[in-house]
Structure 1
């Protein structure tokens, strides 16, 4: 059993290591990749949930992340990147993320997260501390814009979180923690 757990952990680590990489390029190139991702994700969010346009329009800030996640039996891991737009200060903070979880699941998915901050303190706390804990359950079968997934939205104090799957095939029920941190190279 220990060998199976070790092999599972090793496969998850190797798979995640390359899933959400920004790749090569200059700092400006990497920032542009994130800005393009932000534009595409917000367009998709507004298309699928039109009421969010007004919500983001009046919010003091928001974050957009791209994440790749893999689930193998009892463990899940993921990594990604994104940015936080503080509309009060006008500052954009580029960030990274990593997540790990336990539960039941199997599959791989590429998904997006949009966080709407409803206070300046929520933005500051997120950029400074960046931890989240929670659980999620979802089912996804989507590729090249075809297929479907079941996701929802969640509320954590002064933050509303929207998630949606870009591509992937996964069925999971997990308890997980996610760490977000400032990308020193891009800021």
Structure 2
């Protein structure tokens, strides 16, 4: 059900997303800690998450904001290609792909609907309307840390790890 919304570039409805998160966080392996990626996506979800965690005697330690401009987001996502046979993901720029074949298995590469520029730009508009207010919400909570997410993966990873290190046990 969630994939249908994502393929259109829309966000998955709160009811569906919250049920998935609640189920996942109730699993045994999440009891000693967890990392959420892409959730919450709006302030009402953040409030439900806060209340859910409070009921379980937990709270968020940190919210990491990866800061990157829209054109960079489009460049990164629109360049992705997926192998039709093995599912491996390639990038037309970062992997120096000169053809439309998978170097791993020889399958043909294709661009997923949610990686097309018009879909990405729509998602960015939805982000500005619904998700961007979370920055202020978590800043007010005192748990927001922003990290510059431009540059090579290794550099962004290093900056992110440095930002979360003080919060690790």
- TM-score clears 0.5: no
- What TM-score results when the alignment is normalised by the length of structure 1? 0.24
Say which one has the larger Rg. Answer: 2
